[in-house]
A and B are shown apart, each in its own frame.
Chain A
């Protein structure tokens, strides 16, 4: 029986040895990259170091029959993965040296992509003191977890949530009348465009509950009903279940780029609202498949188009799923 699914590697770089003590209880993500050292910053994921300017305005490009700007297709962030939220092309905070692994010097901060935090302008998250202490604890614990809380939920195949889904592998955006749907590597997000009210606030979800509308070239989405469980990265920042996220997906006139600009208001964890900016580019049939950004296979058809194979994680997760399906046992 063959199985070469690539969706189950939740890349726990840094985190494999560490979890030995937790393994019997919680298990661990099966990881086909675990024997390899952490790639250098970006490691092929980084496509660029800057964020292009894209302004909100009229949409002049192609439209779908229902009137939506046609932005369907495969997309991926251009900067980095979730190793480090505020220094995206830096290292995982607190990452210890590994014997025999020579790491490239990072050089000055200014030579790397800017923080994903675009407001405040210093690029730092306005964490409350208690929350900052928790983040620092995680940044130590991540490399040698002694508590369940030190394990990155994504390593357990949990959905990456918001905003991390936008810098965790490439994803497909599909559009239908009344919907924009994100097919992420680690879950699905349905944006409702029909103006229905949000779910009752007692319902808490990994991907929240999303209501959107188009303003010219910009998809504006209001997200509530967060469960706050998905971390922002391996750097440990987090939201509470009372976070409210106002997202603006601002598409370039040629439809090949967009900037994700989200204002997050969370009085339980932060001292003020802050803004997250993540640049993304489109991947098309003209691009070669890419194991991070563009996980596609050639279809068995004369057109030779690309298609996605199934996205699976928890079931293939040797430690958690198959080895310790019921940690309460």
Chain B
């Protein structure tokens, strides 16, 4: 009797189950990974599929990049006139001037949308962002501390985060002027100030937004947005990429004389 009833009703259960599944996106915030303190846990290996690193702005295809509509709200970067000339010079000489071509620290925000994986190691008090590319480690402090009172000018700036609901809001300041924003020569000065907003779209997808301001280079603050996907390939891992050593790798280690 019971079994007959079950069989009879099972299609309906199935429909209900399907409806519940379809309604999951609205419940996504309940399903995201969280730390013990309830804050979203961004631990994992992430990467963009965008062409942002080739050029943040809309661009046609070129020898060293595919076409892209860019990732800037409003389309283009509001350069001050002199800075725009500098940007053009950077673009012309990008092959030799781009810091990434030398294997140097990508900086912020470029390391977020550089087309290589980066891993987030997260604790309650901080997030350590380890890009596969290069050697740098970026720490975002989430322990309530402020920017240093006597700061350096850092390659990565100084990152202090706080939570607004499930969004990690990071204030990044105290930069030097030596990193680029992409490989097209978009640049900044040491007055760069960035406010980032990191939030889960679902457990395997992060929406990353940043407001970029720099009174020496831009006429107003401007916004970018990229989506980061979690690497879910089996056994996926970072493989160190200290490519700044490639020029001298050949000299080591010693080898026996060949006869």
Residues of A within 8 A of B (CB): 1-5, 26, 65, 130-131, 134, 138, 147-149, 151, 153, 156-159, 174, 176-177, 179, 181, 183, 186-188, 190, 192, 196-197, 199, 203, 205-207, 227-231, 238-241, 297, 299-301, 303, 305, 307-315, 321, 325-328
* 9 new A-B contacts at CB < 8 Å, known A1-B153, A228-B253: A3-B152, A130-B257, A149-B254, A159-B245, A176-B121, A229-B245, A301-B146, A305-B145, A310-B156
A187 to B43, CA, bound (A): 20
Interface SS of A by simple majority: loop
Q: How many B residues touch the partner, as a band? A: 35 or more
Interface residue? B9 (CB, 8 A): no
Chain B residues contacting A231 (CB-CB under 8 Å) are 252-253
Contact A2 B153 (CB under 8 A): yes
The residues of A that contact B3 with a CB separation of less than 8 Å are: none
Q: Flag if B137 contacts A188 (CB, 8 Å).
A: yes
- Would you give 29 A-B contacts (Cβ < 8 Å), ordered by A? A1-B153, A1-B176, A1-B190, A2-B151, A5-B152, A148-B248, A149-B254, A157-B244, A176-B123, A190-B130, A192-B237, A199-B237, A203-B239, A206-B245, A207-B240, A227-B249, A229-B249, A229-B253, A231-B252, A238-B253, A300-B146, A301-B143, A301-B145, A307-B141, A308-B139, A310-B139, A311-B137, A315-B99, A326-B247
Q: Which residues of B contact A207 (CB under 8 A)?
A: 240
Interface string of B107-149 (1 = CB under 8 A from A): 0000000000001011100001010000111110101111111
Q: Is B154 close to A, CB under 8 A?
A: yes
A325 touches B121 (CB 8 A): no
A65 contacts which chain B residues (CB < 8 A)?
36
Which residues of chain A come closer than 8 Å to B229, judged between CB atoms? none
Residues of A near B155 (CB, < 8 A) are 310, 312, 315
Query: B191-223: contact bitstring with A at CB < 8 Å (1 yes, 0 no)?
Result: 000000000000000000000000000000000
Query: B102 at interface (Cβ–Cβ under 8 A)?
Result: yes
